[in-house]
Structure 1
Amino acid sequence: MQKVKYFFILIAVSAFLFSFNPPKKEKIKWLSLTELAVAYQKQPKPIIIDVYTNWCGWCKVMDKETYGNDKVAAYINENYYAVKFNAESKDSAVLGTQKYGYNPAYKANDLAVYLLFGRMGYPTTVLLSSIDAQPAPLSGYLKPSELEPPLKFFGDGVYKNKNFPDFMKEFAAAW
Structure 2
Amino acid sequence: MKKFLFTIFLFSLTIVATAQTAEIKWFTLEEALTMQQKAGKKAKPIFMDIYTVWCGPCKLLDKTTFVDPAVVKKINTDYIPVKFNGEGADVITYLGKKYANPNYNPSRKGRNATHQLTDFLELQGYPTLFILGPNGEKQKTIMGYKTGPELLQEI
- TM (normalized to structure 2)? 0.72
State the partner residue of 2:95.
Answer: 96
Equivalent residues of 1:93, 1:101 under 8 A apart: yes
* Aligned-partner Cα distance in 2 for 1:103–1:136: 27
Tell which deviates more after alignment, 33-42 or 46-55: 33-42
Change (3 A) 1:111 1:25: farther
Equivalent position to 1:128, from 122, 125, 132: 132
Q: Residue 30 of structure 1: SS of its match in structure 2? A: coil
Equivalent position to 1:40, from 16, 36, 39: 36
Instruction: Provide the identity percentage.
Output: 35
Change (3 A) 1:25 1:110: farther
Taking the TM superposition and a 5 Å limit, the aligned residue runs for 1:25-174 are 27-43=23-39, 44-102=43-101, 104=103, 107-115=113-121, 117-119=122-124, 121-151=125-155
Q: Residue 85 of structure 1: SS of its match in structure 2? A: strand
Equivalent residues of 1:47, 1:127 under 8 A apart: yes
Q: CA deviation at 1:146?
A: 1.3
| Backbone CA RMSD of aligned residues | 2.1
* Aligned-partner Cα distance in 2 for 1:46–1:82: 9
Change (3 A) 1:35 1:67: same
Change (3 A) 1:62 1:56: same
- TM (normalized to structure 1)? 0.64
Higher relative contact order, chain-length normalized (CA < 8 Å, sep 6+): 2
* Aligned-partner Cα distance in 2 for 1:63–1:133: 25
| Unaligned segments of structure 1, at least 5 residues | 1-23, 152-175
Equivalent residues of 1:37, 1:96 under 8 A apart: no
